């Protein structure tokens, strides 16, 4: 474990292509377990563990994006592989966007491919009411209505509500207090993935990522809602991973 605890294995290979992954708000490394079984031998999937969940449950989650990006850059920089890519789901995409900007400021190698899933382009102001200030149960209910993924049995259990709410609230504070600062486009390729039934992120909000890069841009819509990438009840995660692998294959062995 690295000093900051983000990367489960600090001995990242120099010859393999590494895909760093960050989940949606409230998610953990387990969100990518199903995807891990689908990766080919030339690709290594490395989920990043954030505070406030799983093995880092006792640590307070970040409430601001700036300190999270700074600490994440410090954790990854000493172990940066020769060839790597980023996969960010919703909140994870925003964190990685600012991390790539930070890497550019530090003159570090940028990812060969930046993959965003279910995330609006960072310069767009969301046409949604902030939620992180709401009381616990109202907060969870509003989240479920907007994004899905919070079972009724969780919302009806006071202990579970008290357990999951602090990290979710912190993550949404990160998202809802983010202030975009204009800068030059990034010299990376970008693949944007979206769910056809996602009511929170519309197609034009995904397409708008193109203005933030100078490399190749691709957009693909898949069956499912906001959590299509981790939906255990469908084959969409498998389809998404096949798309990701097809886009990463040209960089294998580089």
Enumerate residues 6+ apart whose C-beta is below 8 A from 66.
Answer: none
pTM score above 0.95: no
Domain extent for 51: 17-124+184-251
The tens place of each residue's pLDDT in the chain, 254 residues long, gives 344 578 766 566 665 799 999 999 988 898 898 898 899 999 999 999 999 998 898 999 999 999 999 999 999 998 888 899 999 999 999 999 999 999 999 999 999 999 999 999 999 987 778 888 888 888 888 888 888 777 777 777 778 777 888 999 999 999 999 999 999 999 999 999 999 999 889 999 999 999 999 999 999 999 999 989 988 778 999 999 999 999 999 998 76
Catalytic residue among 30, 41, 90, 233: 90
Q: Which CATH number does the domain housing residue 190 bear?
A: 3.40.50.1820
DSSP label at 62?
P
* Residue 132 belongs to a domain: no
Q: Which pLDDT score, from 0 to 100, does residue 3 have? A: 40
* Residue 120 belongs to a domain: yes
Cβ atoms 21, 60 nearer than 8 A: no
Q: How far is CA 210 from CA 93, 122, 132, 192, in A?
A: 14, 11, 29, 9
* Residue 160 belongs to a domain: no
> Residue 117 belongs to what H/E stretch?
strand 113-117
37 labelled catalytic: no
Q: Which pLDDT score, from 0 to 100, does residue 224 have? A: 93
* Residue 229 belongs to a domain: yes
Cβ atoms 68, 59 nearer than 8 A: no
* Residue 179 belongs to a domain: no
Cβ atoms 89, 117 nearer than 8 A: yes
User: Token pair 């491919």 is at which residue?
Assistant: 113
**HSE (side-chain half, CA atoms, 13 Å) at 202:** 7
Q: Which of 57, 36, 58, 56 is nearest to 47 (CA)?
A: 36
* Residue 170 belongs to a domain: no
**HSE (side-chain half, CA atoms, 13 Å) at 148:** 14
Q: How many domains does the chain have?
A: 1
d(CA 21, CA 172): 19
* Residue 3 belongs to a domain: no
């Amino acid at each position: 474990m690295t000093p900051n605890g983000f990367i489960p294995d600090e001995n990242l290979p120099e010859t393999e292509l590494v895909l760093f992954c960050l989940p949606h708000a409230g998610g953990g490394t387990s969100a990518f377990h199903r995807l891990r079984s689908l990766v080919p031998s030339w690709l290594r999937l490395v989920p990043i563990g954030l505070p406030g969940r799983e093995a880092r449950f006792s640590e307070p989650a970040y409430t601001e994006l700036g300190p999270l990006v700074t600490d994440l850059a410090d954790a990854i920089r000493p172990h940066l592989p020769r060839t790597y890519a980023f996969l960010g789901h919703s909140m994870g995409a925003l964190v990685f966007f600012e991390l790539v900007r930070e890497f550019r400021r530090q003159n570090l190698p940028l990812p060969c491919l930046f993959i965003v899933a279910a995330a609006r382009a960072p310069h767009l102001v969301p046409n949604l009411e902030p939620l992180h200030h709401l009381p616990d149960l109202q907060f969870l209910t509003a989240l479920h209505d907007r994004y899905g993924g919070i079972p009724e049995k969780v919302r009806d259990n006071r202990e579970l509500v008290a357990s999951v709410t602090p990290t979710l609230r912190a993550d949404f504070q990160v998202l809802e207090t983010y202030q975009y600062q204009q800068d030059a486009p990034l010299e990376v390729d970008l693949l944007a993935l979206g769910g056809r039934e996602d009511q929170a992120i519309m197609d034009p909000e995904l397409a708008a990522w193109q203005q933030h890069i100078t490399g190749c841009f691709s957009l693909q819509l898949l069956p499912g809602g906001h959590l299509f990438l981790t939906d255990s009840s469908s084959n969409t995660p498998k389809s998404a991973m096949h798309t990701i692998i097809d886009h990463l294959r040209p960089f294998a062995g580089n």
